[in-house]
Structure 1
């Protein structure tokens, strides 16, 4: 890196535009970048001088968002947006359709919009729904095929076929079998013969029932978004019966809305207290065949109700044959904040208690539906399980 480039980067980092001799090495584009950063961080912290600011108008903030999207990749834009919401109190700006139409949407923003929908003016609601629908569609595209394949069946690698489905093609063997058709000009082979795996269908007789029981307190917002999307995906599969129950101190059964995951999210009420025992009791009352039921309780276990009754109820469910799993979080980070004492009590029942990322969830559900060892599955993937002696 040249000395001039090093000097330029330090000036951008510190928010200094004057090189000291009245001249500036910053280009017009650099000045816009510096202004965009100073609008957020120019309050005397982090060495940047205090100037600019985001102001209180949606057009001004929309322009600022356009600038940061020009200069930074999407993951960085989302971090800067988060800083803006926290440092500049811009949550109120989410109620402005002009502003909302310009933000870089992610799961965190969806959670914010769901939390704010009760105070959202009518003119903003349609824009918010469109933003949520866009993120949900992207996540459905990302998660749907993998989840469906994991639940419908596992690949039987002992048998092969020359007429595989695309997802079941064994690409290394296919390429090797078609080396004679290699095209030097295009640097590829023409796959005249496909080799793939036969998918062994694991038929679930009389339909296994999956209940996702999700804590909708404020700290679980991202988990609620992901759980709702997974529930919608599973509800579309004919091999399982899926129920989605969200709770705080009240309970809302969103099973009938699962055909429209956006509608599901608008039915969630984030925030409030937590009565986990009451929610589990609701689910228990709806389980008809315990040996065919899987209860996935997604909560940080900060119980505002009767913790002892909750432990007794979970024990009773597990003894009756219900496959109970407690997820402390369903988030990209997989790093939960939870009640360690209650988590240890639940783990002592033999119930697996851990956090899970969305990428891991389809395989987890496949393992659970086959009634395989979830503890072993998690340990094999270096997922930290809560110990009963924690």
Structure 2
């Protein structure tokens, strides 16, 4: 990328750069643009000009139709000009405006896209029609996204929900997973090595692990709606389930459903395999899935049931409400997440949400970054309303029904 292209998305623009931004935005004739700006304009016009017509010129454009190599070159162009979040937005627009989802079946094209959670959801939904060669590349792409998400979320989840750690008792011989890094760094600042730009941790400070028998562990069941509208939530829920299953302090189950039920608990050691086991799309029978999970809860007062769904019930709504009421009455900690997505803005059935909230279950949407703290609050059985207020999350009001 040339130097004059880098500040395109900056708010601190001089007059010349501001004029350049407007020229690109309104689509002036190509001859009035520089060579680099012309390429950028062509890349945007291929997607956003109506019917393939280049803005302001009346000339027809080839657009994004055609072969995978052509689209791959276009993806390379937009990646040169924009940061990754913007590239992902443009990709989504391309899939929706130009019908490029079919291109995901091309291994050469798939290898060039900027992968994110939404792309993973697309790949999972299409895996049934993928050739074997494409499936191999798709697994690699999904694996990269999973690795990035695990790196971003794993430590936070572990720190937040390791309920078997008694933080009132300190030790100077902690296990690696139980080290309090903030206190350890402060205690060893005097051992900073200038030559290596590192601190030598002479003294480790951490928490003593409280011994718990396996039978005493809390159980967490993630029951996830895998209908098409919940695609991103399924991806995040699967990642969180895999992380939680790796912790020795809780028992974790993952059940996905549409009109059928898919118990993925035994696959949680491999989150990529979990995602390839998901069957996105189809109808929704929440009542059936809740019944399946409820039958497998052995110790209600030690169990946490996290239902992730938009609550558009295609099954028996009355039975669903009665079943959730019985679970709450037995002491099961029932929480309903309307979405588990980066935006946290779900589309859901407001009437059903209000009726579930009236039973006493907290109902709200949650972003992935807030999920670890939410789960820690649930495991401690603290007031979810107070936590939500501090986290600036709005719970569904039962009075809205």
Same structural fold, with TM-score higher than 0.5 when normalized by the shorter chain: yes
- Where does structure 1 lack aligned partners over 5 or more consecutive residues? none
Task: Show the counterpart of 2:75.
Answer: 65
Alpha-carbon distance, 1:186 to partner: 7.5
Does 319-328 or 236-245 show the bigger shift?
236-245
Bigger mean CA deviation after superposition, 236-245 or 350-359: 236-245
Q: How many residues align?
A: 382
Distance in 2 separating the partners of 1:156 and 1:97: 50
1:27 aligned onto 2:51: no
- Label 1:193 to 1:27 Cα distance change in 2 as closer, same or farther (>3 A): same
1:71-220 equivalence runs, <5 A: 71-153=81-163, 168-170=180-182, 174-175=185-186, 178=189, 190=199, 194=203, 196-198=205-207, 201=210, 203=212, 206-220=216-230
Instruction: Give the equivalent residue in structure 2 for 1:38.
Output: 45
Contact 2:192 2:200 in 1 (8 A): no
1:14 aligns with 2:32: no
Give, in whole Å, the separation in 2 of the partners of 1:323 and 1:5: 56
> Residues 329 and 356 of structure 1 are in contact (CA less than 8 Å); yes or no, is this contact kept in structure 2?
yes
Whether 2:352 is the aligned partner of 1:352: answer: no
Alpha-carbon deviations, 1:178-231, whole Å to 9, x = none? 46x678x77978566657453564847522211110000100000000111111
> What is the match of residue 55 of structure 2?
48
Give the direction of change, closer, same or farther, for the CA distance of 1:202–1:82 in structure 2 (3 Å limit): farther
How far has the Cα of 1:257 moved from its partner?
Answer: 1.2
**Gap change, CA 1:161 and 1:63, over 3 Å in 2:** same
Whether the aligned pair in 2 keeps the contact of 1:170 and 1:197 (CA below 8 Å) is no
1:152: Cα distance to partner?
A: 1.6
SS in 1 for 2:398: coil
CA distance in 1, matches of 2:198, 2:268: 43
Deviation at 1:68, TM superposition (A): 0.6
Distance 2:290 2:127 in 1: 27
Map of 1:263 onto structure 2: 273
Q: Which runs of 5+ in 2 are unaligned?
A: 1-12
Label 1:206 to 1:248 Cα distance change in 2 as closer, same or farther (>3 A): same
Deviation at 1:134, TM superposition (A): 0.8
Q: Secondary structure at the match of 1:214?
A: strand
TM-score, with length taken from structure 1? 0.90
Q: Secondary structure at the match of 1:241?
A: strand
Residues in 1 aligned to 2:326 and 2:231: alpha-carbon distance in whole angstroms:
29
1 CA distance for matches of 2:218 and 2:131?
42
Q: Give the Cα–Cα distance (whole angstroms) in 1 for the partners of residues 52 and 399 of structure 2.
A: 43
Q: Which moved more, 1:374-383 or 1:36-45?
A: 36-45
2:301 aligned residue: 291
TM-score calculated relative to the size of structure 2: 0.87
Q: How far 1:363 moved relative to its partner?
A: 1.5
Secondary structure of the corresponding residue to residue 249 of structure 1: coil
Aligned match for 1:228, one of 223, 230, 238:
238
Q: How many Å separate the matches in 1 of 2:278 and 2:189? A: 52
Query: 2:334 maps to what in 1?
Result: 324
Distance 2:360 2:235 in 1: 28
Deviation larger for 75-84 or 259-268? 259-268
SS at match of 2:284: coil
* TM-fit CA distance, 1:2: 4.4
Let me know the Cα RMSD of the aligned residues.
2.6
1:249 to 251, 254, 259: 259
Judged with a 3 Å threshold, the aligned counterparts in structure 2 of structure 1 residues 364 and 4 are, in CA distance, closer, same or farther, namely closer
**C-alpha separation in 2, matches of 1:192 and 1:152:** 24
- Answer whether contact 1:333 1:357 (CA < 8 A) is retained: yes
Range that drifts further, 201-210 or 350-359: 201-210
**In structure 2, do the counterparts of structure 1 residues 28 and 47 end up closer, same or farther at CA, with 3 Å as the change threshold?**
closer
Q: Is the 8 A contact 2:45 2:52 kept in 1?
A: no
